[in-house]
């Protein structure tokens, strides 16, 4: 079973091709959010390098969010268009779960945090028990509320995600030695993780038609807020 997976939910654009348990190739660009220009060339290049054509792909996988509204739309539109054209199923995967999966079989709590602006973060809490399990539901919360929750647990927590750039010092102040920060290479999105989680969805029968797959925003975009403000005025 061949899977084409991608994640464009942040500044990182990443594409991967998997053939069963084998990672055939992965492409990651962590430089400027120009997904509309880079994504299709990345897909074309990785398929060419892996000697795979689009019709060889059995499942298309995509990060659903939360994350950048524009990035999510680009990634989802691309994967849905390819899947619809080829009449293939789609596996939608949580961006937060994909980040947590980067730390395969590690001990301790895993806490991905994605910058939601205005001192808010998209977050969840995960732990490995044979497979990755959810300890706390995904949500958008203030960094203060998240840290209060984690302090009450009194457990080691491994953090990853783009919000570390903004909040790492505050996390260290609040949690001290309970906060663990892995190398940056595993703190950013990886399409290979999205692909592996998609394979799990195949086993569980959780695939969907392209038309049924929707992004996970968790909050309204700035444009929507401004539109509502103008209409209220």
Tell me what pLDDT residue 218 has: 86
Tell me what pLDDT residue 174 has: 97
What domain range is 60 assigned to? 2-95+189-221
Cα 227 versus chain centre, distance: 28
**111 sits in which H/E element:** strand 109-115
Mean pLDDT in residue range 96-107: 95
Question: 84 and 111, same structural domain?
Answer: no
Tell me what pLDDT residue 26 has: 98
Degrees (nearest 5) of the Cα angle 18, 114, 181? Answer: 85
150-170: per-residue pLDDT in tens? Answer: 999 999 999 999 999 999 999
Query: Taking the CB of residue 21, how many other CB atoms lie within 10 A of it?
Result: 8
Going from the C-alpha of 129 to that of each of 58, 116, 132, 204, the distances in angstroms are 29, 29, 6, 17
Confirm whether 8 is domain-assigned. yes
Question: 161 and 203, same structural domain?
Answer: no
Q: Domain holding 207: CATH number?
A: 3.30.420.40
Question: 194 and 136, same structural domain?
Answer: no
Question: 120 and 45, same structural domain?
Answer: no
Degrees (nearest 5) of the Cα angle 12, 14, 16? Answer: 165
Length of the chain: 233
Confirm whether 118 is domain-assigned. yes
Question: 166 and 81, same structural domain?
Answer: no
Question: 42 and 91, same structural domain?
Answer: yes
Confirm whether 108 is domain-assigned. yes
Asked if residue 185 has pLDDT above 80, the reply is: yes
**44 sits in which H/E element:** helix 35-49
Instruction: Evaluate whether 155 touches 132 at the Cβ level (below 8 Å).
Output: no
Mean pLDDT in residue range 177-196: 96
**pLDDT tier for residue 231 given thresholds of 50, 70 and 90:** low
Cα 19 versus chain centre, distance: 20
Confirm whether 231 is domain-assigned. no
Question: 209 and 130, same structural domain?
Answer: no
Tell me what pLDDT residue 142 has: 97
**pLDDT tier for residue 226 given thresholds of 50, 70 and 90:** very low
Tell me what pLDDT residue 32 has: 84
Question: 91 and 7, same structural domain?
Answer: yes
Among residues 163, 133, 157, 131, the alpha carbon closest in space to that of 67 is found at 163
Q: Into how many domains does the chain fold?
A: 2
Asked if residue 224 has pLDDT above 50, the reply is: no
Mean pLDDT in residue range 193-198: 98
Question: 201 and 163, same structural domain?
Answer: no
Q: What mean pLDDT value characterizes the chain? A: 93
**pLDDT tier for residue 222 given thresholds of 50, 70 and 90:** very low
**pLDDT tier for residue 220 given thresholds of 50, 70 and 90:** low
Question: 174 and 108, same structural domain?
Answer: yes
Query: Taking the CB of residue 29, how many other CB atoms lie within 10 A of it?
Result: 16
Question: 13 and 82, same structural domain?
Answer: yes
Tell me what pLDDT residue 225 has: 42
Question: 52 and 31, same structural domain?
Answer: yes
Mean pLDDT in residue range 81-104: 98
Instruction: Evaluate whether 26 touches 93 at the Cβ level (below 8 Å).
Output: no
Going from the C-alpha of 184 to that of each of 28, 35, 149, 164, 196, the distances in angstroms are 13, 21, 24, 10, 20
């Amino acid at each position: 079973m061949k899977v084409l997976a991608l994640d464009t939910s942040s500044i990182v654009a990443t594409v991967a091709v998997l053939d069963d348990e084998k990672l055939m190739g992965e492409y990651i660009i962590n430089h400027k959010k120009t997904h509309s220009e880079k994504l299709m060339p990345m897909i074309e290049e990785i398929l060419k390098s892996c000697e795979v054509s689009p019709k060889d792909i059995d499942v298309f996988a995509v990060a659903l969010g939360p994350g950048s509204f524009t990035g999510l739309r680009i990634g989802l539109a691309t994967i849905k268009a390819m899947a619809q054209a080829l009449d293939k199923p789609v596996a939608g995967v949580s961006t937060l779960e994909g980040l947590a999966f980067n730390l395969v079989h590690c001990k301790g709590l895993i806490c991905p945090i994605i910058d939601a602006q205005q001192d808010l973060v998209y977050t969840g809490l995960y732990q490995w028990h044979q497979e990755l399990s959810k300890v706390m539901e995904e949500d958008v919360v203030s960094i203060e509320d998240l840290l209060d929750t984690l302090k009450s647990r009194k457990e080691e927590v491994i953090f990853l995600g783009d919000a570390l750039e903004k909040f790492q010092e505050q996390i260290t102040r609040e949690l001290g030695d309970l906060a663990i920060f892995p190398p940056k290479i595993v703190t950013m999105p990886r399409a290979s993780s999205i692909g592996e989680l998609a394979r799990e969805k195949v086993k569980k029968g959780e695939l969907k038609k392209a038309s049924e797959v929707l992004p996970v925003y968790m909050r309204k975009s700035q444009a929507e807020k401004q539109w509502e403000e103008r209409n209220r005025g």
